[in-house]
């Protein structure tokens, strides 16, 4: 059995794998789909952390003339934004947009009346190309212009498109007529969409927009992004039916004593198998790079190994709910423990403050008692025969003098059976002489 050539392997973005074609570890980890990007380019952009290009067809197809008119007005923001068509003509204002949408409806009606092909209930498809915040809108406009010409015009499809910059991430809206000039209906397979992502990255790089086109599984994302309909529903209500259903399933698992992993959905089992395959391919690719011995390959191997090891675990919706509940409970316990520790610290600080206040009060009382004792000893030695009135006056004078001396850092002490004031050297007050008796002249 002869091996197939690369051109035979890739047919319009559709890679056909054969048993006689052995892919390298790089191609298994970063597969390509004919959009012009190599596995090495994807690996280098993955290691450098380049943002991913996001593009998708809207799930809701345009099926009525009114819906088509509203879609045209939506992407043009009711005529405020200029749109370009497949011929490069500028459509400005709602009248021009409405006229073009009307012509699409008439073409489809005429086609179905002639019975030239199978009828279709779809008039148009909406296509979105989203870039990361900070992308230059002018560069994005040039890249989108080249991309839609190569992707849709080459197939004979009519379209209009424009750029929206009302959000942090500039993005393009493309409204595509569902039937081409030769009667073919618009359809893309998943692999063709992957090839489109690669093709846009190659085109965008010419205009300075560095993007990557790897799979969600390689980046460690096992869950799809929320559709805009679900996001809007969650904004309108506190608990979305999806979360309520997953929560009920989780409660049922616990009540019936089942194991989440053992009884998980078949899709989650495939996700775990995919993760295992990615880890295996990554290990082989890292080993291939290290065997070359080149500095750039060694650096690339180290970065890829680090990024792969940091991927989040594969979790089902029920496991995510359970993990978040456990994390919330742990945070609550930590918060409770922290609050208890804080309360204990406050109590201890209050106890220490009261103890310090009591110690200070006791020291002050002892000091006052000692000073009073010294004052009484001094009065007893210097004024033993003083009257009660004089003793009170002497006591007050000594206290005032002691207060002044203490303010200067001094005090009162007994020296050689006598009392002196420190930092003053003043003699203690003497007992006043009693008035002499006799007649005054």
Q: What is the pLDDT of residues 77-124, one digit of tens each?
A: 998 999 999 998 999 989 999 999 999 988 888 777 776 556 567 889
Residue 160 domain flag = yes
Average pLDDT, the chain: 81
List phi, psi (to 5°) of 353. -65, -45
Residue 117 domain flag = yes
Domain tally, the chain: 1
Give yes or no for residue 441 having a pLDDT over 70.
no
Q: What is the pLDDT of residue 439?
A: 41
Q: What is the pLDDT of residue 395?
A: 80
Q: What is the pLDDT of residue 422?
A: 43
Check if the beta carbon of residue 419 is closer than 8 Å to that of residue 412: yes
The owner of tokens 């089942």 is 258
Q: What angle do CA 384, 390, 396 make, to 5 degrees?
A: 105
Instruction: Give the three-state DSSP class for 55.
Output: strand
Residue 42 domain flag = no
Give yes or no for residue 46 having a pLDDT over 90.
yes
Residue 130 domain flag = yes
91/183 Cα distance (integer angstroms): 25
How large a percentage of the chain has pLDDT more than 90? 42
Report pTM.
0.66
Residue 345 domain flag = no
- 12 or 270: whose pLDDT is higher? 270
Range 69-81 average pLDDT:
91
Task: Please count the helices (runs of H) and the strands (runs of E) in the chain.
Answer: 13, 10
Which of 157-171, 181-195, 230-244 is modeled with the greatest confidence?
A: 157-171
Range 337-359 average pLDDT:
91
Residue 2 domain flag = no
CATH code assigned at 157:
3.30.930.30
Q: Outline where 182-240 has alpha helix (H).
A: 190-205, 228-236
pLDDT in tens, 318-331: 777 777 777 888 88
Residue 437 domain flag = no
pLDDT in tens, 120-161: 678 899 999 999 999 999 999 999 999 999 999 999 999 999
Domain that holds residue 132: 51-211
Question: Could you give the C-alpha distances from 319 to 259, 313, 322, 334, in angstroms and in order?
Answer: 11, 10, 5, 22
DSSP 223: S
Residue 153 domain flag = yes
Q: What is the pLDDT of residue 63?
A: 84
């Amino acid at each position: 059995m002869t091996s197939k050539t690369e051109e035979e392997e890739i047919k319009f973005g559709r890679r056909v794998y054969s048993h006689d074609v052995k892919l390298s570890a790089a191609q298994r980890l970063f597969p390509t789909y004919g959009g012009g990007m190599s596995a090495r380019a994807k690996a280098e952009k993955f290691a450098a952390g380049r943002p991913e290009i996001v593009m998708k067809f809207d799930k809701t197809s345009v099926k009525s003339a009114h819906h088509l008119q509203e879609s045209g007005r939506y992407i043009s923001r009711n005529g405020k934004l200029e749109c370009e068509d497949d011929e490069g003509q500028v459509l400005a204002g709602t009248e021009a947009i409405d006229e073009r949408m009307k012509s699409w409806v008439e073409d489809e009606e005429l086609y179905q009346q002639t019975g030239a092909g199978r009828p279709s209930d779809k008039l148009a498809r909406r296509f979105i190309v989203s870039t990361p915040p900070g992308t230059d809108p002018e560069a994005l406009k040039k890249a989108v212009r080249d991309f839609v010409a190569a992707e849709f015009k080459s197939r004979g499809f009519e379209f209009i498109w424009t750029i929206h910059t009302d959000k942090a991430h500039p993005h393009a809206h493309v409204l595509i007529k569902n039937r081409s000039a030769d009667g073919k209906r618009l359809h893309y397979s998943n692999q063709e969409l992957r090839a489109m992502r690669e093709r846009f990255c190659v085109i965008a790089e010419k205009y300075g927009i560095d993007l990557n086109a790897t799979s969600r599984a390689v980046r460690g994302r096992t869950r799809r992004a929320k559709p805009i309909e679900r996001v809007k529903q969650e904004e309108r209500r506190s608990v979305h039916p999806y979360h309520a259903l997953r929560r009920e399933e989780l409660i049922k698992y616990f009540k019936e004593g089942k194991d989440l992993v053992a009884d998980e959905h078949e899709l989650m089992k495939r996700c775990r198998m995919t993760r295992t395959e990615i880890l295996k391919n990554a290990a082989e690719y890292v080993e291939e790079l290290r065997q070359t011995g080149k500095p750039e390959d060694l650096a690339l191997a180290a970065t890829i190994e680090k990024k792969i090891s940091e991927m989040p675990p594969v979790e089902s919706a029920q496991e995510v709910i359970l993990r978040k509940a456990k994390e919330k409970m742990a945070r609550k316990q930590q918060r409770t423990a922290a609050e208890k520790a804080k309360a204990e610290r406050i109590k201890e600080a209050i106890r220490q403050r009261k103890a310090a206040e009591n110690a200070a009060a006791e020291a002050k009382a002892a000091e006052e008692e000692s000073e009073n004792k010294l004052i009484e000893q001094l009065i007893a030695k210097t004024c033993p025969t003083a009257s009660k009135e004089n003793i009170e006056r002497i006591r007050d004078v000594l206290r005032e003098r002691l207060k002044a001396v203490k303010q200067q850092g001094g005090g009162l002490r007994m020296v050689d059976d006598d009392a002196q004031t420190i930092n003053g050297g003043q003699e203690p007050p003497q007992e006043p002489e009693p008035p002499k008796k006799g007649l005054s002249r």
